[in-house]
């Protein structure tokens, strides 16, 4: 069943979009990542213009993450205080990122450097997470009990606050800084930053994995809510027919993802996420190494043709 997408300007099969939405929603509910990493290339493969793909995706991820967020909230897996502190840093970071991007575009080559760094960060984070989760899995099998979390010097900085939900009493400087870095990154790379945010909350802040996922979803809800409106207001690139078709699958997928997630242990979730991060990094590397079919990119400057 083909349906014509009014903003993207092409017809697309209904069932393809439904299943894509389902998969992304599942990942979102389970790991607290947005799913843009999977969606952007898939939608572009279907022939949807990149600007429309990115904007409509923000709208669909909003639905998926809100659905997942509510499910996590019911299970009391959201640290609101931590979420808002991260968000504050994130807002400042993404505004600065927009200006930084302008500056970088003027001087050119730097964007390539950032793309490559992102891939390297993903490989590093994925590999490290894989190693850590595997060794934890082994330890738990042997029956050893782990400490709640490691204390590192960053936690001892001034302005300490009690984060009840996360069982933490740490300085607010690291969360603000992490939110800021993810904000800058999402402006420059056009990615939600879940892949950096989730591991950072687990390993740098020392939050319990289950709480990290719910809190990350809270963050994604805010970011995608704002970016849906901004994309529509500035570029008119949100295709509601496209996002509606995607979100039918996504909201269902997110609920299923949450149910699967609560049955798993923290280290099992981290292990699976590590594998996904490594797969994504590998695909990204493959994408830039393989000679493309078209060795150029064409953007429509008047998107409203």
Partner 1 sequence: MKYCIFIFVFIFHIYPSWAREPLLTDVVDKDINITASFDGAKIVIYGAIDTKLHKDSILIINILGPSSDLKIRKKEKFWGAWLAGNNEMVFEDAPGYFASASNIDNLDSIDDSILEELQIGWSNLIINTNLSENNNIDDYKNLLKIFYKNRGLYQTTSNIDVLGETLFRTEFLLPAITPTGTYNVKSFLLSNNGKLISSWNNSVKVSKEGLAEGLYDYSIEHPFLYGLLAALGAILAGYIASEVFRRI
Contact window for partner 1 (CB under 8 A) among 164-172, 206-214, 225-233, 265-273: 225-233
User: Whats the size of the chain, residue-wise?
Assistant: 305
Q: Does 184 bind partner 1 (CB under 8 A)?
A: no
| Candidate residues 225, 262, 264, 275; the one interacting with partner 1 per rule CB under 8 A | 225
CA atoms within 13 A on the CB side of 87: 18
Q: Which residue has the tokens 């056009």?
A: 190
Q: Closer CB to partner 1, residue 66 or residue 271?
A: 66
Question: How many residues form the binding site for partner 1 (CB under 8 A)?
Answer: 66
| Candidate residues 43, 218, 248, 281; the one interacting with partner 1 per rule CB under 8 A | 248
Q: Closer CB to partner 1, residue 171 or residue 236?
A: 236
SS3 301: coil
- Report in angstroms how near the CB of residue 22 gets to partner 1 at its nearest: 12
Q: Which has the closest alpha carbon to 264: 252, 273, 253, 251? A: 273
Q: Closer CB to partner 1, residue 113 or residue 169?
A: 113
SS3 170: strand
Q: Six-digit token pair at 129?
A: 């997470």
Could you give the string, one character per residue 81-120, with x where binding to partner 1 holds by CB under 8 A and - elsewhere? ---------------------------xx-xx--xx----
Q: How far is 10 from 2, CA to CA, in rounded Å? A: 10
Contact window for partner 1 (CB under 8 A) among 33-41, 81-89, 125-133, 231-239: 231-239
- Report in angstroms how near the CB of residue 141 gets to partner 1 at its nearest: 33
Q: Closer CB to partner 1, residue 119 or residue 130?
A: 119
Q: Which residue has the tokens 């039918």?
A: 248
- Find out whether 273 and 31 touch, Cβ atoms under 8 Å: yes
- Report in angstroms how near the CB of residue 64 gets to partner 1 at its nearest: 7
Q: How far is 95 from 269, CA to CA, in rounded Å? A: 32
- Measured CA distances, 296 to 48, 123, 238 (Å): 16, 27, 24
Q: Closer CB to partner 1, residue 47 or residue 156?
A: 47
Could you give the string, one character per residue 16-55, with x where binding to partner 1 holds by CB under 8 A and - elsewhere? -------------------------------x--------
Residue 278 CB contacts under 8 Å (≥ 6 apart), including other chains: 122, 123, 126, 127, 130
Q: How far is 301 from 237, CA to CA, in rounded Å? A: 12
Q: How far is 250 from 99, CA to CA, in rounded Å? A: 33
Binding residues for partner 1, per CB under 8 A? 2-4, 6-7, 9-11, 47, 59-60, 62-71, 74, 108-109, 111-112, 115-116, 224-225, 228-234, 236, 238, 240-241, 243-244, 247-248, 251-252, 254-255, 288-302, 304-305
């Amino acid at each position: 069943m083909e349906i014509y997408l009014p903003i993207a300007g092409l017809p697309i099969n209904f069932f393809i979009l439904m299943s894509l939405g389902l998969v992304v929603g599942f990942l979102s509910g389970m790991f607290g990542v947005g799913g843009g990493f999977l969606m952007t290339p898939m939608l572009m493969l279907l022939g949807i213009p990149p600007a429309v793909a990115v904007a409509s995706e923000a709208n669909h991820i909003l639905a998926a993450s809100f659905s997942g967020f509510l499910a996590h909230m019911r299970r009391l897996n959201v640290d609101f205080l931590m979420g808002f502190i991260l968000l504050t840093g994130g807002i400042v970071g993404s505004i600065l990122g927009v200006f930084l991007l302008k500056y970088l575009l003027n001087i050119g080559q730097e964007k390539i450097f950032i793309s490559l760094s992102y891939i390297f960060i993903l490989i590093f984070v994925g590999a490290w997470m894989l190693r850590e989760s595997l060794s934890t899995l082994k330890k738990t099998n042997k029956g050893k009990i782990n400490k709640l979390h490691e204390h590192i010097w960053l936690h001892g900085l001034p302005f300490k606050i009690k984060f009840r939900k996360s069982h933490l009493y740490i300085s607010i400087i690291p969360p603000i800084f992490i939110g800021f870095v993810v904000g800058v990154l999402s402006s420059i790379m056009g990615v939600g930053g879940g892949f950096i945010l989730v591991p950072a909350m687990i390993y740098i802040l020392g939050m319990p994995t289950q709480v990290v996922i719910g809190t990350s979803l809270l963050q994604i809800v805010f970011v995608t809510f704002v970016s849906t409106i901004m994309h529509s207001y500035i570029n008119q690139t949100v295709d509601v027919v496209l996002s509606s078709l995607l979100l039918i699958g996504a909201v269902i997928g997110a609920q299923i993802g949450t149910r699967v997630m609560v049955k798993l242990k923290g280290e099992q979730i981290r292990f699976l996420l590590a594998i996904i991060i490594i797969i994504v990094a590998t695909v990204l590397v493959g994408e830039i190494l393989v000679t493309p079919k078209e060795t150029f990119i064409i953007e429509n400057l008047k998107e409203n043709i």
